[in-house]
Amino acid sequence: MVGLGDARLAKLPYSIRVLLESSIRNCDEFKVKKSDVETIMNWQTTSHQSVEIPFMPARVILQDFTGVPAVVDLAAMRTAVKEMGLEDKLDLVNPLCQTDLVIDHSIAVDHSSTADAKDKNEELEFLRNEERFAFLKWGEKALKNFTIVPPGNGIIHQVNLEYLATVVYEKNNIVYPDSLVGTDSHTTMIDGLGVVGWGVGGIEAESVMLGQNISMVLPQVVGFKLTGKLPAHTTATDLVLTCTNMLRKRGVVGKFVEFFGPGCAELSLVDRATIANMSPEYGATMGYFPVDANTIKYLRTIGRSEETINLVEAYLKSQGLFRVYDGSQPDPVYTGEVMELSLDDVKPCVSGPKRPHDRVEVAKMQEDFRSCLTAPVGFKGFNIA
C-alpha cells in the first residue's frame, strides 16, 4: 500500500491525489481493492492503458430537473418498504452520502422593472408549484443526508461555491477532501475552489446517493502552466476564451486539465471559477486549480470560520494537497507536453459569432464579421485569432 514517504506521490497531479485518497479511505477489498489503489498510484503508466478505477465522491449536488425524480425514486422505495410491513426499516432508505438539491431553473419572470418584482415572482413560483415544493419539503424532513435549497437563493453553481462546498469534508470524526458529482455539466465551476467535481447523468448521481462507486477510466491529466499577470484592460472572460481556444486545439476530451504555475497566484478565485466553469466548452472532464493561499483568502472573504479555515489549511498541507508557488514544491508529472500561457499576452476578445467557444480579438472583430458575412452558405466560419 501507499505510504506518505512513497516517492511516486510527489509526482502525481493534485487532482489524481484526491482520487487516490478516496480509494485508500474506501478500500475494503470489495468495492475498492488494493489493486485499485496501486493502479492510481502508478498513474504515470496506467493512465495510458484505459484502465477503470472506482471513485466515491463525498457528496452529490442536484438541480431541480434531475433532483425531483431522484426524490420520487426514494419515496417510491420507502412506500414499497412500508407495503411490505417493514415500517421499522424505513430509515434504511436514505441517501448514503450528503445530497443537496438546489432549485434554480424554474422561476418565471411575470413582473419586472419594479422594486418588488423579485418578491412577486417568487410568490407566484411557490403558488404554481405548491404541490411539488410540498413534496420536496417532505423529502427534506423524511430523508437523512438530504438538503434542499429553495428558489430565490441563486444559481446552483454559485450556491455550491459560496455555501455548500467545504473544501475539506468532516464526517464521523474523519477528515477528507471535499469532492462531488452533479447533474449539471457546469458542476466543474467548483474545481476553481480546489474541489474535485464534474457533471454526470441522473442515474449515475442516484447510484452515488445510494452508496455506489463511480466506475471511471483513470484520466490523463494535461498540465497548463500560467505565468505573468493579466494586463489591467483584460478580464477573466478574455482569459477563459484564450484558454478554451488553446485547449480545444490540444484536444482534452475525457481528460483532466490541471492549472499550475506562478500565474495562478495572480488569479482570484472568481477568475479561476470562470475558467473551471468552461470545462464543457473545451471538452475536459474538469479544469482543476489545487488549493493554495488564494483559496484560503476566498474562504475568509465568504465568511467561513477561522476554525474551519485552519482545519482546511492544516489538513491539506499535511496530506500534500496544498499548492505553493515559491519554488519549494516540485511540479507534478503531467500527460505529454505541458501547455503554457503568459497572462501578459492575453488580449481583449469575444466569442462567436457562430459558436460560443470561438475566439475573436476585439481588434479584429470587423474583419472577422465581414469574412463571415460574405462566406458561402454552409461554410464553417473563420477563426482568425
59-215, what's its fold?
Aconitase; domain 3 (3.30.499)
Q: Given pLDDT bands bounded at 50, 70 and 90, which one contains residue 326?
A: confident
Find residue 360's DSSP bridge partners.
350
Q: What is the mean pLDDT of the chain?
A: 91
Residue 246 CB neighbours (<10 A): 16
Of the candidates 133, 361, 114, 126, the one whose C-alpha atom is nearest the C-alpha of residue 234 is 361
Q: How confident is the model at residue 372 (pLDDT cuts 50, 70, 90)?
A: confident
Q: Given this model, what pLDDT does residue 5 score?
A: 61
The secondary structure of the chain, three-state, reads CCCCCCCCHHHCCHHHHHHHHHHHHCCCCCCCCHHHHHHHHCHHHHCCCCCEEEECCCEEEEEHHHHHHHHHHHHHHHHHHHHCCCHHHHHHCCCCCEEEEECCCCCCCCCCCCCCHHHHHHHHHHHHCHHHHHHHHHHHHHCCCEEEECCCCCCHHHHHHHHHCCCEEEECCEEEECEEEECCHHHHHHHHHCCEEEECCHHHHHHHHCCCCEEEECCCEEEEEEECCCCCCCCHHHHHHHHHHHHHHHCCCCCEEEEECHHHHHCCHHHHHHHHHCHHHHCCCEEECCECHHHHHHHHHCCCCHHHHHHHHHHHHHCCCECCCCCCCCCCCCCCCCEEEEHHHCCCEECCCCCCCCCEEHHHHHHHHHHHHHCCCCCCCCCCC
CB 287 within 8 A of CB 257: yes
Q: Is the pLDDT of residue 376 over 90?
A: no
Residue range 77-92: mean pLDDT, rounded: 89
CATH number for the domain whose boundaries are 219-346: 3.40.1060.10
- With a cut of 70, say whether residue 370 has pLDDT above it: yes
Q: CA 59, CA 61: separation in Å to the nearest integer?
A: 7
Question: What was the pLDDT predicted at 65?
Answer: 81
Domain range annotation of the chain: 9-50, 59-215, 219-346, 348-385
Return the pLDDT at 172: 85
Contact 17, 25 (CB under 8 A): no
Residue % of the chain over a pLDDT of 70: 95
pLDDT exceeds 90 at position 337: yes
- Predicted confidence at residue 364, as pLDDT, reads 84
Q: Is the pLDDT of residue 355 over 90?
A: no
pLDDT at 203 over 70: yes
Residue 1 banded pLDDT, cuts 50, 70, 90: very low
**Residue 289 vs residues 185, 257, 295, 371: alpha-carbon distances, Å:** 18, 9, 9, 37
Q: Is the pLDDT of residue 93 over 60?
A: yes
**Phi and psi of 203, rounded to 5°?**
-65, -40
